[in-house]
Amino acid sequence: MIGSIFCLRLFVRSVVLGCMLCAVPAVAKDNVPDWVRTVAARPLPAYSPDTKAAVLLEETTYTVAADGSAVEHVRSVIKILRPQGRDDGIVAVPFDKDQKLVSLHVWSIGPDGHEYTVSDKEMVEVGYQGQGNLYQDDRIRSANPPGRDPGGVIAYEYEQKMLPYIGEKTWFFQGSLPRAEQIFTLELPPGYTYATVWAHHAAVQGSDLENRRWRWEIKDTPAINLEQILYRPAVSSLAGRMTVRYTSGAAPVDGWQSIGEWYDRLSHDRLAATPEIAAKASELTAGKTDFFDKTEAVAEFVQKEVRYFAIEMGIGGYQPHFAADIYRNRYGDCKDKATLLSAMLSTVNVHAALLMVDDRRGVIDPDAPSIVGNHMVTAIEVPKGYSSPKFRSVVTAKTGRRYLIFDPTWEKTSFGQLEHELQGSYGLLMEGPESQVIKLPILAPEFNTVHRKGTLHLTADGSLKGQIVEERFGDLSDHRRGLYTRGDAKQQADYMDHVLGEDFSAFKVSDVKVENAAELNKDLITAYTIDVDRYARSMGTLLTVRPRVLGEEAPPVDRKTRTVPIDLRETMQIKDDYTIELPGGYGVDELPEMVKIDLGFASYESATEAKGNLLHYSRTLTVREVALPADRYADLQKLSGVISKDEQSLAILKKQ
């Protein structure tokens, strides 16, 4: 679903690992530069025993020419500390036609002190395998230097010439490895000015080196390691970065506004509608007078009938294709689909703007304007005074205009909703001089739901049989909608067996019926019959039975000290209602206690009742927030414990 617009050029190491063919070079004692030996000889900072590798030096010099072109020069030295750090010694530098790789040099010093130089012929060049992209011109030059064992040092130096599309450079100085020393130097031509913004890190004062050169230094940057963290946020949402915005003439203007104006120049002519586009929009909205009905018809056409495929070269990673081409070819990436939707809506007198977002919540910082982001959606202006209960993702801009935020790329999000990955984060509304950063809404739990209802009969031998009806809506229905619209019968049966197998050890399922799988604005309904052996356990004259028939909803937790924010992913509401007819001759002897807890961000309640020969269980779990600070982890642990205990609670039946 994600387009590569504004993407960080992150390298997937598995691609390179599968392509590394170079042999170990011969010893070349005199070719390792002195600066590498000097850095390698420095005392190592005190790192935790599980640190797999560390960056000893990372130095970047960014030089801007009078014509706006730039040269980036990078030096890096990495020390391998544990066997698990070997892959961090693989060197990989991305480039494309507008970011030409002028040179790349790689050296290493093995744990035994041997020094190596990797020659050009021992490096490999591979294409960047973007997700869902038909073609893009990104390439990667990589090297697999010898000596990548604990105690070994890997060093590289490269230079790139680039034609920046906007006067901006972001220095990403924090990641999965600790960094001992980092240096960023900016060189500007006469007549240029600059400004910096910092995200996820306190601002560091730069040094004026004179001759229009400035230098920033950071030491002992800790690693961000979230591999074993539950409910972890994206690394990029925590990693420190500095964005330098530079321009000739006056000081750079308001960041978000200038970025929006820049993108407006890139995209404005691409939004033009053709007669064919207008005719299709007219056809889709024929006979529709309500604003929701009109916009939904056009939005669903782009969502369902325009395939996601990306063809991106150079600035094509930023600039959408022409709406006419997207419509004719019936494919495009996220910014293409958003562009076509805006163009089609304009022909039926509905204004829409592009909205730059990031599906990694927290990456876009409202106080740090930059083009760091990885996705594009559509902001559809809602007429004054208009309201609809189906418009659930509406925001109000500083101008007072209201916009419905909709992502035409995500196939299983109904019109009027917003997928959970984007909720609670920020986006840049591209409205020319009125461009601004806006906060995306967090949808109410009632718009992301699961409701399970069961009417079942329990026999004296402990078997349970009856019908389950499950209704799902919103993101919680995404996976099943895909399964029942694109999966085959075996996949569907295997999935059902997997789900039921979490609650039953021996069972049969039959009469499965599915409704509304493709109708996103209706509940997905799944109905089936289950026959469960040995559901209740017999102990003399007693039977113990679990009133909660299906659904394990206790959030998994651990007992580790929490230091990073908690990402709960999505708001939701889950309800269960089960009625079990008791076997003849048995009555209720003991029931689980009622449960009720409200922690603000979430609440849970359940009740088990006996009415005649019926045992009824009901519960509701409501999650109201998508993210929490680290200090609320104890509350999440408490909620998990309460739910887990309730889910395992038993009712005791006694033979009369």
* Residue ranges covered by each domain of the chain: 13-252, 257-442, 446-655
The pLDDT value recorded for residue 1 is: 37
Sign of torsion over alpha carbons 11, 17, 23, 26: positive
Give, in order, the Cα–Cα distances in Å from 170 to each of 234, 245, 335, 435: 18, 9, 22, 21
Cα–Cα–Cα angle for 344, 411, 278, rounded to 5 degrees? 10
Containing 485, the helix (H) or strand (E) segment is: helix 478-486
Segment 280-288 mean pLDDT = 97
Q: Rounded CA gap, 533 and 73, in Å?
A: 69
474-487 confidence digits (pLDDT tens) = 999 999 999 999 99
Number of other CB atoms surrounding residue 210 within 10 Å? 7
Q: What is the CATH number of domain 13-252?
A: 2.60.40.3140
Is a pLDDT exceeding 70 seen at residue 312? no
Q: Rounded CA gap, 329 and 143, in Å?
A: 39
What is the 3 state secondary structure string of 363-393?
A: CCCCCCCCCCCCEEEEEEEECCCCCCCCCCC
In words, the CATH class of domain 446-655 is mainly beta
285-294 confidence digits (pLDDT tens) = 999 999 999 9
The pLDDT value recorded for residue 304 is: 94
The pLDDT value recorded for residue 311 is: 64
The pLDDT value recorded for residue 31 is: 83
DSSP state of 412: T
Segment 495-506 mean pLDDT = 94
The pLDDT value recorded for residue 252 is: 52
SS3 158: strand
Q: Topology of domain 257-442, per CATH?
A: C8orf32 fold (3.10.620)
Q: Rounded CA gap, 65 and 59, in Å?
A: 20
125-169 confidence digits (pLDDT tens) = 887 555 444 455 678 999 999 999 999 999 999 999 998 888 999
Residues 6+ away with beta carbon under 8 Å from 649? 546, 547, 548, 592, 593, 608
Give, in order, the Cα–Cα distances in Å from 523 to each of 180, 456, 499: 54, 23, 19
Residue 310's pLDDT band (cuts 50, 70, 90):
confident
**Is the CB of residue 311 less than 8 Å from the CB of residue 134?**
yes
Beta-bridge partner residues of 258: none
What is the amino acid identity at position 457?
H
417-464 confidence digits (pLDDT tens) = 999 999 999 999 999 999 999 999 999 999 999 999 999 999 999 999
356-369 confidence digits (pLDDT tens) = 999 999 999 999 99
Segment 173-177 mean pLDDT = 95
- Token pair for 632: 């609320």
The pLDDT value recorded for residue 444 is: 97
Distance of CA 91 to the CA centre of its chain: 26
Q: Rounded CA gap, 247 and 249, in Å?
A: 6
Is a pLDDT exceeding 90 seen at residue 19? no
Number of other CB atoms surrounding residue 9 within 10 Å? 15
